[in-house]
Amino acid sequence: MSTSPSSRRLMLLVGASVSLLAGCGSSSDSGSDGNASAAPAASSKVAVVASTNVYGDIVSRIGADKVSVTSVISDPDQDPHSYEASTQNQLALSKAKVVVENGGGYDDFVDRMLKSAGNSSAEVINAVKVSGRTAPKGGELNEHVWYDFPTVAKIADRIAAALGKADPANATTYTKNADAFKADLKPLEAKEAQIKKEHGGEAIAITEPVPLYMTGASGLVDKTPTEFSEAIEEGDDVSPKVLQETLALFTDKQVEALVYNAQTSGPQTEKSEQAAKAAGIPVVPVTETLPSGKNYLAWMTGNVDALANALAK
């Protein structure tokens, strides 16, 4: 599988970091919101490492007080494609019973760090593999599967099974918690279905592919030039021609909303945002990691509601 554009920036820094017992600049022993301070894993708890606080929060929801979770990328103000190295995460990986990574080229550093840590016994859950998603013919895989709610439900089941294997005495509890979490995902899918019913076929623009599983499930059509979103995701400059084509989506009112990755921005994305606002087109900000103080369900509820409200305008 080819390396996705969004991961290549991350891998440039990770390559150097791994040789120094690489990791993220912030680790967390997650509570229900996935943002608690780091603490050594108690021997009675299942040690889990997640590549981002998105998965760390889901693990915390399923494992509750029976797990100790370290999220490698946990700073909501940090570009997920770059971070500072930390030996704390390498140590956490060496002790982990379960590891949750996104896969699809997004966080290959986890596998490298796990190998460097010498931990071959940890059960690794690869979200992209669980999803079954593949790259479209001639295109790039959209690795942002945490915006795909059916996939997240599958991941919850895999996490419950892995925790139950590591801690058989509480396997029933993990399964019950995963079922409750999946039930809480259903209203999100219902909201997407309602958007599709009311706005199916309407056009939107994006800055990066981050929200495309959500917008696709909502029946919306991405009109952004592929060259624009791919260049932004890869950290490259956009050609003047492609930038002009993108800005025309707003000046000519060809789209109903701009869904904007607020976690990474630059001159071209800022011009798109300004053009959308000048044309009276709603801008819906999204992020790749959990905003401070929110859990996964609250975060995604806010995203879907913001999309619905923008289209209603």
291 DSSP 8-state letter = P
pLDDT at 249: 98
Helices (H) and strands (E) in the chain, counts: 12, 8
Nearest to 202 by CA among 219, 188, 190, 177: 219
At residue 225, the 3 state secondary structure works out as coil
Q: Per residue in 36-72, is it b (16+ CB within 10 Å) or e — as a string?
A: bebeebeeebbbbbbbbbbbbbbbbbbbeebbbbbbb
pLDDT at 117: 86
How do 98-101 and 283-286 pair as beta strands? unpaired
Burial class (CB in 10 A: 0-12, 13-18, 19+), 241: exposed
Tokens of residue 236, six digits: 């490259």
pLDDT at 212: 97
pLDDT at 76: 67
Q: Enumerate the β-bridge partners of residue 46.
A: 67
pLDDT tens-digit map of 157-179: 999 999 999 999 999 999 999 99
Show the low-confidence residues of the chain (pLDDT under 50). Answer: 1-5, 8-42
pLDDT at 2: 40
pLDDT at 31: 38
pLDDT tens-digit map of 181-216: 999 999 999 999 999 999 999 999 999 999 999 999
Separation between Cα atoms, residue 286 and residue 302, nearest integer Å = 9
pLDDT at 17: 39
Q: Which domains does the chain have, with CATH numbers?
A: 5-186 (3.40.50.1980), 188-312 (3.40.50.1980)
At residue 95, the 3 state secondary structure works out as helix
First and final CA of the chain: distance in angstroms?
A: 40
How do 98-101 and 46-52 pair as beta strands? parallel
